[in-house]
Amino acid sequence: MAGLIEFVPNFSEGRRGETIEALARAARGAEGARLLDYSADRDHNRSVFTLAGSPEGVAGAAIALCRVAAERIDLREHRGEHPRIGASDVFPFVPLRGTGMAECAALARRVGERVWRELGIPVYLYGEAAGRPERRSLPAIRRGGFEGLGAKMLLPEWAPDYGGRAPHPSAGAVAVGARGPLIAFNINLDTPDGGAARAIARKIRASSGGLPACRAIGVVLRERGLSQVSINLTDYRKTSLPVVYEAVKAEAGRLGVSVAGSEIIGLAPARALTDCAAAYLHLEGFDTSRVLEGLE
């Protein structure tokens, strides 16, 4: 069996169904890759696709998707709750089976080079594909957003890895990288005021001394009349779903708001679910080798 790579592109469009379906068609049409899941969020104004395939398959899908996004999304008209720099905002490649991080980083460089050469969109390499230590961090690359990108790209330390010193006028720039599996986990709060969500995000995220391997921002979900702690768990073995959920629930309780629900965006590793069962059911000695569907 050839090596399998997961590709989880994020696009700055979560409202116009036509554009989202055009992206889905491009993903389905890619040879050597399969579309596993996609979802869009109107408040974030963002969509997340999950594909898996051979290195060549996901590379082809990345170029096809980036082309559709550049044709259909104009960031000058984009408003949404989530920080972003590009129409195709983030292109992460994740090793699944029979591939390693080095292969994903090399793939990110090849795709990044093609995005610039074939589509004229500048590229920052991030995560395990980063060429400089300060570009390992996606939030650092995205700081300032699309609106601040023109000025940022003129700074000597923010020259892109591929491309000139100016954003693509409508499509911005793309962060292309390699990373381990990540869980995108959003916890919704029963209040339209974003203050509690932001305070909780500050409290729990690793960058402010909170939970390890936890990134979090607080956002308002205007259309749903809720607010949200939007979380990325970059290593669920360090901070599990139950630990971050209980932390948010406890902090919310202190602030007098309650949890309205939660959602996982994209896929989650089986281990995240066995950890959850172990935590809540006081389950001893159960691991992913004992999930029935693991059989081959």
Chain residues binding a copy of itself by CB under 8 A are 4, 6, 36-37, 52, 96-97, 181, 241-242, 245, 259-264, 266-270, 272-274, 276-277, 280-286, 288-295
Closest CA to 178 of 90, 98, 241, 239: 90
With tokens 């920052």, the residue in question is: 124
Alpha-carbon span 122 to 174, nearest angstrom: 7
Alpha-carbon span 79 to 170, nearest angstrom: 13
| 151 contacts: CB under 8 Å, gap ≥ 6 | 144
Quick one: 9 or 160, whose CB is closer to a copy of itself? 9
Nearest distance in Å: CB 145, a copy of itself = 29
Token digits for 288? 């992913």
Nearest distance in Å: CB 271, a copy of itself = 9
Quick one: 23 or 189, whose CB is closer to a copy of itself? 189
Quick one: 140 or 279, whose CB is closer to a copy of itself? 279
CA 45 vs. chain centroid, Å, equals 13
| 129 contacts: CB under 8 Å, gap ≥ 6 | 93, 104, 105, 108, 109, 112, 176, 177, 178
Nearest distance in Å: CB 91, a copy of itself = 18
Q: What are the beta bridge partners of residue 5?
A: 53, 95
Nearest distance in Å: CB 182, a copy of itself = 11
Q: What is the dihedral of CA 128, 112, 99, 23, to 10 degrees?
A: 110
DSSP string, 189-241: ES-S-THHHHHHHHHHSGGGT-STTEEEEEEEETTTTEEEEEEEES-TTTS-H
State the sign of the Cα–Cα–Cα–Cα dihedral 186, 41, 124, 166.
negative
What are the residue numbers of the active site? Answer: 82
Quick one: 79 or 282, whose CB is closer to a copy of itself? 282
| Phi then psi dihedrals of residue 235, to 5 deg | -155, 95
* Burial class of 260 by CB neighbour count within 10 A (0 to 12, 13 to 18, 19+): middle
